[in-house]
């Protein structure tokens, strides 16, 4: 578990998780580690969808939600550690297969660029495999810059050409 800074108020965090290399095994491992690091972790359903930005195996994606008193830098360090356990190479090309990709979508109501994160993550409202699972977990949560709920944004999303097939992760 990540140590909490003294006196810091809990922050609600949404993180996208995805893999297209031994995806089910790697997502199970990542979820186990995320649950240890962030007690109270909640998970959306997992979905299979086509790779975006390159030709490759389908991805399996989901979103997790948790509250933490950890700083953004501490959360990012933990996410990078978990990606490494799943075989992620930090120097791999951006648009390439991934054993694990963990991206902070929302960190409280924080807005702006910080080392390792742009908040809210711009892809959140452009990628159905991020927005759909995020809306499933927290439909009433307001997007900090658009001032619309995730559920409303999902309801407006054009799903044409974005097939998402539910995937069972339980053994």
Point out the residues that are catalytic. Answer: 88, 98, 101, 103
The residue behind tokens 């699972």 is: 133
pLDDT digits (tens, 9 = 90+) for 15-37: 999 999 999 999 999 999 999 99
Give the pLDDT confidence score for residue 1 in this predicted structure.
55
Burial readout 98-112 (b: 16 or more C-beta within 10 A, e: otherwise): bbbbbbbbbbeeeee
Residue 115 backbone dihedrals phi, psi, to 5 degrees: -55, 120
Q: What is the pTM of this model?
A: 0.92
pLDDT along the chain (171 residues), means of 10: 65 97 96 97 95 83 97 96 89 76 96 93 95 98 97 94 88 64
Radius of gyration for the chain, computed over Cα atoms and rounded to the nearest angstrom: 15
Q: How far apart are CA 133 and CA 2, in angstroms?
A: 25
């Amino acid at each position: 578990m990540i140590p909490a800074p003294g006196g810091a108020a809990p922050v609600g965090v949404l993180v996208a998780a995805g893999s297209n290399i031994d995806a089910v095994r790697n997502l199970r491992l990542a979820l186990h580690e995320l649950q240890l690091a962030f007690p109270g972790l909640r998970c959306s359903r997992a979905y299979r969808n086509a790779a975006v930005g390159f030709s490759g195996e389908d991805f399996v994606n989901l979103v997790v939600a948790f509250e933490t008193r950890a700083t953004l830098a501490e959360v990012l360090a933990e996410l990078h550690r978990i990606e490494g356990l799943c075989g992620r190479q930090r120097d791999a090309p951006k648009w390439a297969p991934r054993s694990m990709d963990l991206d902070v979508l929302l960190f409280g109501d924080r807005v702006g660029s910080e080392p390792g994160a742009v908040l809210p993550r711009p892809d959140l409202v452009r990628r159905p495999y991020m927005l759909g699972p995020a809306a499933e977990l927290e439909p009433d949560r307001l997007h900090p810059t658009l001032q619309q709920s995730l559920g409303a944004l999902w309801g407006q999303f054009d799903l044409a050409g974005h097939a998402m097939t539910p995937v069972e992760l339980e053994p």
